[in-house]
Amino acid sequence: MRELLTSPQVAPSILSADSSKLGSQVDEVMAAGARVIHIDVMDGHFVPPITLGPLVAGSIAEQVHAGGGAIDVHLMIEQPERHIEAFAAAGADSITFHEEATPHANRTLAAIRELGCLAGIALNPGTPAAALVELHDLADIALCMTVNPGWGGQSFIEGSPEKVSRLRPLVGGATIEVDGGIDASTAGAVAAAGASLFVAGSAVFGADDPAAAFAEVSAAVAGS
């Protein structure tokens, strides 16, 4: 996973995939070059919907790893520290939780690294970039939400590229990940601002041809 974070990557989010054929949807995007598969975990408390858990992460982990890929888990749950072990055991390569979801961000980042995963911390659109000032040494990934968490298919929040620019000098060597409303028309601006991991759900799996859509978003990133 660490190597995958050194070059720009588009990470398809399986939240928008057809769950009745999850394995073949993952195969399709990996055949098109995807190497980071993003899993959105929602608990019905931190955000209203309930989505995926360790069982689903574990069900595709072997397939993703066999193809040279990595599982990128995004926890939108309260008390994330209670669940990191289960996701690590399910095969997660990186685990990202929300700064707003726990008073124990420092301890949780360290615990994720101790489990052998890359540690990530996410910020809601309303949380200032400066919230990461005390944490950057412990974080491998800083995830800047570019929509409010909870649902796929929302519009990219304008002003997100500026927030990524503010985050860039605050997070040391951490990879900046962006999530929400990322498509071929929005990826370029956040890439130019310093993001290098681009989650795309509906832009990839909502398209008639997910492989072509993945290539299109990747080209927008590369051309920025």
Within residues 139-198, the interface with ligand DX5 by CB under 6 A covers 147, 149-154, 179-182
With contact defined as beta carbons under 8 Å apart, do 109 and 138 qualify? Answer: yes
Within residues 74-93, the interface with ligand DX5 by CB under 6 A covers 74
Cα torsion for 3, 125, 39, 69, to the nearest 10°? Answer: -10
In sequence order, what are the beta bridge partners of 73? 39, 95
* Catalytic (active site) residue 43: no
**Cβ neighbourhood burial of 21 (10 Å; 0-12, 13-18, 19+):** exposed
Is there binding between residue 72 and Zn ion (CB under 5 A)?
no
Residue in 40, 99, 183, 216 binding Zn ion, rule: CB under 5 A: 40
* Catalytic (active site) residue 179: yes
| Residue number with CB closer to ligand DX5 (133 or 155) | 155
| Both structure tokens of 87 | 């996701």
With contact defined as beta carbons under 8 Å apart, do 179 and 148 qualify? Answer: no
| Residue number with CB closer to Zn ion (91 or 201) | 201
182 binds, among ligand DX5, Zn ion, none (CB under 5 to 8 A by kind): ligand DX5
**Residue 4: its H or E element:** none
203 binds, among ligand DX5, Zn ion, none (CB under 5 to 8 A by kind): ligand DX5
Is there binding between residue 179 and Zn ion (CB under 5 A)?
yes
In sequence order, what are the beta bridge partners of 198? 10, 178
Active site residues: 40, 179
Q: Enumerate binding residues for ligand DX5 (CB under 6 A).
A: 13, 15-16, 38, 40, 74, 147, 149-154, 179-182, 199-203
